[in-house]
Amino acid sequence: MEISSPSTEMFDSTARLTKAEEYLRLAKVDPSDLHAETQVVSFAAPLLSDDYRLIELDKHLLERLEQGETIILRGTENDIPVLCTDKQTFQVKEAETSNALLLSPDCHATGNVVKEGVHFLGACQVVSVRSHYLELKEVVRLKTSRLRELLEERPFFGWENETDSQANCYSIDDLLEQVQGSKAQLLQVIETLPVCEIDGKLRQLAFEYRSRMLADLVDTCESGQTTGLSEDHLNRQAVREFFAANKAPPSFTDWFLRALCTATDVPDVLRLDERQVCRHYAELLLRGTKRFNWDDFWTAWCQCVPVNMTPKESFLEGLGLIEQGARIKTIELFPVEDLPEDPQERFDLLFRRRPKWRHADMEPYLRDLATSPKEIGVLLTKFCRSTTVGGQKLYNSRDSSYSA
């Protein structure tokens, strides 16, 4: 292959072809061992290097692009950009290579080069030379803080508090303009939140509204006066009719059945989910005070849950922080949803709150940062030191300023 300055005459010149073959022989390459086409590289003047960005794709993503799937780069000027397909999200980072990357629109790759026939020279013009390219790393868990902030701008408190304006309300397309993630992943996250679609907009259900609707249903179930409504036997259609009579949006009923109910062996019959309902009432109590005496909290919790439900301390994981003092045991609201999504910031906050943690106490506050127990172990190794006190393993910060 000969590299020279641009010239149109060189490509159909027998002399040039002879000269190219001489160069090959000097390099101890027999022209007969090559394909029929030898490409002569030339460089455009001027080079348009700044007009192009190169991106490295795996074969699966490349195939989907070739099949017509759309990709979108999302992020503000202050964000690390992400590349999104319909179902996946990839963090984009710039990488540097020691080799020069040449971009040529008319270069024939191995599959397209002429292999048989009379030896001839082909033109290959380079329009860009790059030493950097973009590499992708798949994002398995989306960061949700911006999504939560947007949805919290205007919670749904009930129709009596609504106006005709839809200011600060967002559709899924509106959210995709501001949240870094694929549509499929964003919808998966929304499925885990107290959110439903009302008049074409995704609205967060205010805690007060959820509490009122749940209390009304529990009271009706305990009264035993409505067919198909008891805590262990919730007929799906009866629940829909109940909430419709209470002027709840139909999508609220869908959320309620998904989030606060669990299936039974009977088709279209559900029951209240003991863990989720008990957690709701625990949060209701903890929201009312900064710190609760444990015995007082436990008594109040047992009294306010539905009569056939039994609170368990395990229901409080990732919701309330229990402290055993020298004389009394206390609990306070400490929801994992309010913690930073950055691992370093998360650990800093946890150790500011408590210098030493048992694994069982810390693990609920790390689950959303990892996809497996193994990844939680990696996080603990990276950000913590462990000590054994009285036969019990405790984790503390690698930063000595957090030590008790």
The residue with greater pLDDT, 262 or 31, is 262
Of the residues 239, 272, 305, which one is the last residue of a structural domain?
272
Residue 118's pLDDT band, with cuts at 50, 70 and 90, is: confident
Contact 247, 213 (CB under 8 A): no
The amino acid present at 377, given as its one-letter code, is G
Q: What is the pLDDT of residue 404?
A: 52
Q: What is the pLDDT of residue 2?
A: 44
Q: What is the pLDDT of residue 8?
A: 47
Lowest mean pLDDT segment, chosen from 5-14, 61-70, 138-147, 152-161? 5-14
List pLDDT tens digits, range 268-308: 999 999 999 999 999 999 998 889 999 999 999 999 999 99
Looking at every residue in the chain, the average pLDDT score rounds to: 89
CB burial of 131-141 (b: ≥16 within 10 Å; e: otherwise) equals eeebebeebee
Residue 402's pLDDT band, with cuts at 50, 70 and 90, is: low
Residue 77's pLDDT band, with cuts at 50, 70 and 90, is: confident
Same domain, 75 and 94: yes
Does the structure show a pLDDT above 70 at 13? Answer: no
Average pLDDT over residues 236-240: 95
Of the residues 138, 154, 179, which one is the last residue of a structural domain?
138
Question: Two tokens at 395?
Answer: 């984790």
As a whole number of angstroms, the distance between CA 193 and CA 198 comes to: 15
Does the structure show a pLDDT above 90 at 14? Answer: no
In the chain, % of residues over pLDDT 70: 95
As a whole number of angstroms, the distance between CA 7 and CA 16 comes to: 11
Of the residues 83, 114, 138, which one is the last residue of a structural domain?
138
Same domain, 312 and 354: no
Does the structure show a pLDDT above 90 at 51? Answer: no
Same domain, 22 and 97: yes
Average pLDDT over residues 13-18: 74
Does the structure show a pLDDT above 80 at 114? Answer: no
Same domain, 33 and 132: yes
Planar angle of CA 297, 303, 307, nearest 5 degrees: 140
Q: How many domains does the chain have?
A: 5
List pLDDT tens digits, range 160-198: 999 888 899 999 999 999 999 999 999 999 999 999 999
List pLDDT tens digits, range 208-233: 999 999 999 999 999 988 888 998 89
Helix (H, G, I), strand (E, B) or coil at 117: coil
Same domain, 25 and 126: yes
Q: What is the pLDDT of residue 375?
A: 93
Is 308 inside a domain boundary?
A: yes
For 186: left if phi > 0, alpha if psi spans -120 to 50, otherwise beta; the answer is: alpha
Average pLDDT over residues 23-46: 82
Same domain, 51 and 114: yes
How big, in percent rounded to 5, are the helix, strand and coil portions of the chain? 40, 25, 35
What is the span of the domain harbouring residue 402? 339-404
Instruction: List, in order, residues 6 or more apart from 400 with CB less than 8 Å away.
Output: none
Q: What is the pLDDT of residue 174?
A: 95
